[in-house]
């Protein structure tokens, strides 16, 4: 059972439709070749997720986060009930692995914002994104995960709820709490005010 590459998917392997379920079943049963194929299909989910959560500041961590995420998915494969649930599981796992990596690095070297006036616009925007991600590292994990999936990754409310396995009302509540916590953390840190455009008062 081999991958078939088409013009629409050139550059990455895909399964023939009738092969997918058989490969999935073999992967869950421990077939290494089938497992490698299943994991290869997750790269377009895991890699951009890792990049978005890590931001430019921790871009060097992307490869390790991707590998750790793939390993975590592989270990959990037998517990995942359906192939359709796999992308959401992989995305959620990657967010958590990337958040742990960020928080570990933040403890080693806390974010130090450069004076905003000295930054060109594109550099300033990247620094703003890094600053917000750094503050996200300081709020409760469940709230941070909801905000990352909804805002950083750009999932809909329904997609975020499905990925995190929680009702939409719960996700709404977490998002509200996350935004309040985020604002409070930013207000507590005057060194971020200029970079993020927070008014003094």
pLDDT in tens, 40-97: 999 999 999 999 888 887 888 899 999 999 999 999 998 988 888 999 999 999 999 9
Which has the higher per-residue pLDDT, 95 or 136?
Answer: 95
- What does the alpha-carbon distance between residue 83 and residue 89 come to, in Å, rounded to a whole number? 10
H-run or E-run covering 136: helix 121-136
**pLDDT at residue 127 tops 60:** yes
Domain residue ranges in the chain: 1-109, 112-201
Could you tell me the fold of the domain covering 112-201? Arc Repressor Mutant, subunit A (1.10.10)
CA angle (150 as vertex; 101, 97 as ends), nearest 5: 20
- The answer to whether the pTM exceeds 0.85 is no
101/97 Cα distance (integer angstroms): 6
Q: What is the CATH number of domain 1-109?
A: 1.10.1740.10
Instruction: Pick the range with the lowest mean pLDDT from 18-22, 90-94, 126-130, 156-160.
Output: 126-130
Least-confidence region, from 103-112, 122-131, 149-158, 162-171: 122-131
pLDDT over threshold 90, residue 37: yes
Using a 10 angstrom Cβ sphere, with 0-12 exposed, 13-18 middle and 19 or more buried, the burial of residue 52 is middle
């Amino acid at each position: 059972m081999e991958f078939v590459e088409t013009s629409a998917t050139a550059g990455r392997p895909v399964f023939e439709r009738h092969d997918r379920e058989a490969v999935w079943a073999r992967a869950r049963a421990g077939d290494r070749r089938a497992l490698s194929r299943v994991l290869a299909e997750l790269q377009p989910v895991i890699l951009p997720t890792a990049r978005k959560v890590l931001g430019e500041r921790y871009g060097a961590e992307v490869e390790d986060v991707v590998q750790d995420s793939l390993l975590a998915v592989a270990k959990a494969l037998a517990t995942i009930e359906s192939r359709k649930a796999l992308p959401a599981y992989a995305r959620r796992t990657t967010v958590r692995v990337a958040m742990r990596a960020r928080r570990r690095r933040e403890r080693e070297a806390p974010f130090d914002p450069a004076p905003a006036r000295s930054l060109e616009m594109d550099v300033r925007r990247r620094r703003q994104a890094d600053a917000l991600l750094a503050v996200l590292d300081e709020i409760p994990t469940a709230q941070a995960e909801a905000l990352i999936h909804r805002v950083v990754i750009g999932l809909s409310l329904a997609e975020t709820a499905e990925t995190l396995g929680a009702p939409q009302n719960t996700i709404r509540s977490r998002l509200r709490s996350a935004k309040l916590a985020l604002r409070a953390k930013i207000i507590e840190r005057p060194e971020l005010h200029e970079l993020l455009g927070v008014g003094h008062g």
